[in-house]
Structure formats: C-alpha cells, structure tokens
C-alpha cells in the first residue's frame, strides 16, 4: 500500500500526456511513470499505487489496441473516466527563438497533427519513441537548433521554454482515459452512470444481433461496441461495450440478462460516473 501519499501510475516519461491526465483528473495523487502499459497495471496490482491511468481511445487515431486486450486480463476495475485535450506545444532550450528552430522531435502520432505549423515555419519533423522523453533529451543536449513537440507539462518539468502553444491543426483531438482501481465501486456518483463490459457470443446464427436486441428493446443506449480477436484466432472474437446506465437500473438488468442467453462469457469491467461535461463538449 502506498501509505499516506496516494499514488497513480501512468505509461510514459514524466510530462507525457498520460501524466497530464493524472494532474488534471487526480491532482491529489502523486504520479508514478511506468515504461509499459503492463508495468502501469502491475504497479497497481502490486499495491505500489492506488490507481492507474490508462488511455483507451483517441478522437483522431481511434482505440488504443493494447488496452482492450489488457483490461479484461488485469483483474482491475474501472472507477472513473477522464477526457484530455491534446494541446501541442513547441519547446526549446531557454533563450532560443522560434526562427532558430530547424527541426523538431516528437512521437510519430504528434508530428502529423502539427503539419501546417511546421510547414509554415520551415521546420522538419523527426520521429521519437516518446515526446516527453525527447524533451528530456533536448534539455541536456545543448542543441539550439532543435525543438520538441510535447505537453506544456513536459516543458515545465525539463526546464524548456515554450515557443508556441496549441499548434495542432485540429482542435478536436482528445484522448479518453480510464482510471483503474483494485476494487470495484458500484456506487452512484453522478447523474449519468456508465457500465463497461466484455463478452463473447455463442456460436449460433445471428448471435450478435440477438445479443444486442435486449439493449434496443429496453431503451439502453450503447455508446460503444468494438470487437477484437482473442489469442490470434479468427474464430474467437471478444466484444468490448460501453452503455449508459447502472447494472441496478431495471432496464439495464433486463438487457444484461437477455445478453447472457447468447454469450459464453460476460464480465463487467467497471461502473463509473460519466464525464458529462467532456461528453457534451464532444457532441
């Protein structure tokens, strides 16, 4: 157990966007960087932290595939969600002017998002494994002709100077994070509750169609349904779903009960309050 100081794990270097999500959603928790998603989960399972922050999908690049495989096997539970706007900053060593920058380094998914800005200033982009890691490298490099695209938090951590803010081509780019805990929490903490679960359908004709029928007939809004292969098999498919409502709601109870008739496996991953402000802003 982490003692009096509550902690939350995230994947990436200090200053990564997952670190930013920890600051925004759980400011009273000390953030612990981890090398991989598996390490992030294991830190929580081992009791080194109290919570874990995992990105599950991005409005531009879609789902984070590794997470969909990791969540059902983790033994952990979703207790909250958080949406973080990806705001890209161009940073450099202190005292460097924008017209001195000839190249920037960033994670490969960030570079295309600032294409117009980089082209307009004649700056070349170079791919890096991690944007926050690139900021850490730049801070000790002495290179006054290079910059990094990363979060403003990364600039603060590594003592870099922000030369331009919000340089992304599109302002809608948002990442949805799930906050995980060792124990489930089914308490009602918001007006709109979300339930996330995974299931596998039986090998019968129209099984998925029949499995989904209960949600339609009971008026339960399913906001996400995604499929992915299990163990690399083309015939073993697992589905990941988000619905609006709480398992204790009569309509949700009936829909889940009907679902069980057409499935070989059903597991609830979490029940949590929806981030309604962020969801309404996306709509």
234 as an active site residue: the answer is no
Q: Check 40, 83, 117, 175 and give the catalytic one.
A: 175
Q: Taking CA 53 as the corner, what is the angle to CA 263 and CA 86, rounded to the nearest 5 degrees?
A: 110
Contacts of 4 (CB under 8 A, 6+ apart): none
Active site residue 195: no
Q: Which of 58, 158, 33, 177 is nearest to 105 (CA)?
A: 158
Token pair listed for 47: 């009791």
Residue of 177, 199, 215, 239 marked active site:
177
DSSP secondary structure letters along 64-121? -HHHHHHHHHH--EEEEEEEEE---EEEESTT--GGG--EEEEETTTGGGGHHHHHHT
Q: Is 102 exposed, middle or buried (0-12, 13-18, 19+ CB in 10 A)?
A: middle
Question: Reduced to 3 states, what is the DSSP secondary structure of residue 166?
Answer: coil
Token pair of 250 as six digits: 């009569």
Strands 30-34 and 193-201: unpaired
Cα(196)–Cα(265) distance, integer angstroms: 14
* CB neighbourhood size of 85 (10 A): 17
What is the set of active-site residues?
Answer: 175, 177
């Amino acid at each position: 157990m982490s003692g009096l100081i509550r902690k939350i794990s995230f994947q990436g270097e200090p200053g990564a966007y997952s670190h930013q999500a920890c600051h925004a959603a759980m400011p009273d928790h000390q953030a612990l960087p981890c090398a991989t998603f598996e390490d992030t989960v294991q830190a929580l399972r081992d009791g080194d932290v109290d919570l874990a922050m995992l990105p599950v999908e991005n409005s531009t690049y879609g789902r984070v595939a590794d997470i969909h495989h990791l969540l059902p096997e983790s033994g952990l539970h979703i207790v909250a969600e958080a949406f973080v706007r990806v705001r890209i900053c161009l940073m450099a060593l202190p005292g460097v002017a924008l017209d001195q920058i000839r190249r920037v380094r960033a994670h490969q998914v960030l570079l295309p998002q600032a294409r117009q800005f980089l082209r307009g200033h004649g700056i070349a982009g170079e791919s890096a494994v991690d944007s926050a890691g690139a900021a850490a490298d730049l801070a000790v490099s002495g290179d006054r002709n290079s910059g990094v695209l990363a979060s403003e938090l990364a600039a603060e951590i590594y003592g870099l100077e922000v030369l331009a803010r919000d340089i992304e081509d599109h302002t809608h780019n948002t990442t949805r994070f799930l906050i995980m805990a060792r124990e489930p929490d089914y308490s009602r903490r918001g007006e709109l509750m979300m339930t996330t679960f995974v299931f596998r359908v039986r090998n019968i004709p129209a099984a998925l169609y029949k499995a989904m029928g209960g949600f339609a007939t009971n008026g339960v809004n399913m906001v996400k349904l995604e499929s992915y292969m299990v163990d690399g098999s083309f015939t073993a498919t697992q589905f990941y779903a988000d619905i609006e409502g709480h398992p204790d709601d009569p309509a949700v109870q009936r829909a889940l009960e009907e679902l069980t008739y057409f499935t070989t496996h059903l597991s609830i991953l979490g029940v949590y309050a929806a981030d309604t402000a962020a969801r309404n802003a996306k709509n």
